Amino acid sequence: MNQRGEAPISVIKRLPVYLRVLDNLVKRDIEVVSSKSLSKETGFTAEQIRKDLAFFGAFGTRGTGYNTNYLRERVLRIIGLDKQTNVAIVGAGHLGTAFARYNVRENPYTSVVGLFDVSPDIVGENIEGVPVYHLNDLQEIVRKERVQVGVITVPAVHAQEVVDRLVEENVKALLNFAPAKLTAPEDVRIHNVDLTIELQSLIYFAKDELNEESTQDLE
């Protein structure tokens, strides 16, 4: 049974947050955690947490809480992080290299096996142990390293050609940072990330609280 198929996207999106907190608790040798303390650490309500976790089976013991290790392993398995996932980042500029650095340091669950670029200024370099290859080597490395996820951090005008190359190599999951509308076959999943849109929507939601005097009308 595909457990992920049954839970709403909002629940799935909270799972990595639970994982981060559980990782921390395991590191601190905390063996049992209540939904109340998970609530304190995540900011979600205890009821929400119990409901979320119940989607995947009842893991907790009433009055005691959840076994931290067990819950962490379940969450890892539900997300699909119990097996190594190899990632390639295409575009080794500001964002691509920052993303690579951060993931090498902070994300033990995926392995960035290579960055790819076309600029002679960066090809051949090494970012936190991750080699920067020329785009021409994409096919060879994707096959050799069994890359499953592609991250797109090239200028928008080049993003579709990068998608096409990754799709040709059978990469089925793409995380796109370029502000471009990309197309791929139905069995390829593309997630778009746009921090500028996040910033703009924050301003919309906070606009009543923003100090009127410190803002100037643009028109």
Binding residue per annotation — 93? yes
Beta strands in the chain (DSSP E): 32-33, 66-67, 85-90, 110-117, 126-127, 130-134, 149-152, 173-176, 189-192
**What is the contact surface with ligand NAD in residues (CB under 6 A)?**
90-96, 116-119, 122, 135, 153-156, 158, 161-162, 177-179, 193-196
Instruction: Specify whether the backbone of 145 is left (phi greater than 0), alpha (psi in -120 to 50) or beta.
Output: alpha
Q: Give the integer Cα–Cα distance in Å for 69 and 42.
A: 17
Residue 91, marked binder: yes
Rounded to a whole number of angstroms, the minimum distance from the CB of residue 44 to ligand NAD is: 24
Measured from the CB atom, the residue of 65 and 114 that comes closer to ligand NAD is: 114
Comparing CA positions, the residue from 77, 11, 80 lying closest to residue 44 is 11
Question: Is 95 annotated as ligand-binding?
Answer: yes
Tokens representing 102? 């951060």
Beta carbon of residue 155, minimum distance to ligand NAD (angstroms, whole number) = 5
CB 217 → ligand NAD: shortest distance, Å?
26
- The answer on whether 92 is annotated among ligand-binding residues is yes
How long is the chain? 219
CB of 98 to ligand NAD, least distance (A): 8
Q: How far is the CB of 136 from ligand NAD (least distance, A)?
A: 10
Q: Closest residue (Cβ) to ligand NAD?
A: 93
Q: Are 179 and 156 in contact (CB under 8 A)?
A: yes
Q: Is 94 annotated as a binding residue?
A: yes
Q: Decide: 74 and 60 in contact? Cβ < 8 Å.
A: no
Please report, in range form, the residues annotated as the binding site: 91-96
Please report, in range form, the residues annotated as the binding site for NAD(+): 91-96
